[in-house]
Amino acid sequence: MRHWNISTGRLVLRQGDITRLSADAIVNAANSRLAGGGGVDGAIHRAAGIERLQEACRGIIGDIGSLPPGEAVITPGFDLSATHIIHTVGPVWRGGANREPELLQNAYANSLALAHEHDIQTIAFPAISCGVYGYPAEDAARIALTALRQGLEAGLVREASMVLHGQAAFDTWAAAAREIL
């Protein structure tokens, strides 16, 4: 684990299972239908309780149709230690010329803004879009860490954590943090 003090807040990099983290909210790298799936999304659905979380997500999708990349919505955490789940859709990597950096930055920034609206003080993020969506980890790390630093500087949350899967991912993000923070 590594951490940096930023303004009155703290940014944390850690390895582990985001579903087991004690935080006010965890962020789900969701699909646009909030339908659950593989990776972090599937793990969060299973840990929170599939039926209740899918029912809450269906209610949101019934109202909005689909969640566009870069946007965020919130549900209860149900069976998680976290009180809330913030669902955001990251962009699918298509080479970088289709607004992917902007949309990825928005996914982090809008999640932080939503956390602030709900008086969430501690929030944990996975590496959004870095799995099956194919975003290059080094680029994603720089975008995400910059967005988290800006959110902490603005006082949107007290602590923002990146929860990474495996040593290689942790090392990639730690290298990016040394450049940015």
Report the catalytic residues: 41
The set of residues, in sequence order, having a beta carbon less than 8 Å from that of 104 and lying 6+ positions away, is 70, 90, 91, 128, 129, 135, 140, 143, 144
Cα gap 57→87, rounded to integer Å: 9
Strand order in the sheet with 72-76: 2-6, 9-15, 159-164, 122-125, 25-29, 84-88, 72-76
Q: In the chain, which ranges are E strands?
A: 2-6, 9-15, 25-29, 72-76, 84-88, 122-125, 159-164
First to last CA, the chain: 15
Cα gap 177→71, rounded to integer Å: 24
Number of CB atoms found within 10 A of residue 44's CB: 27
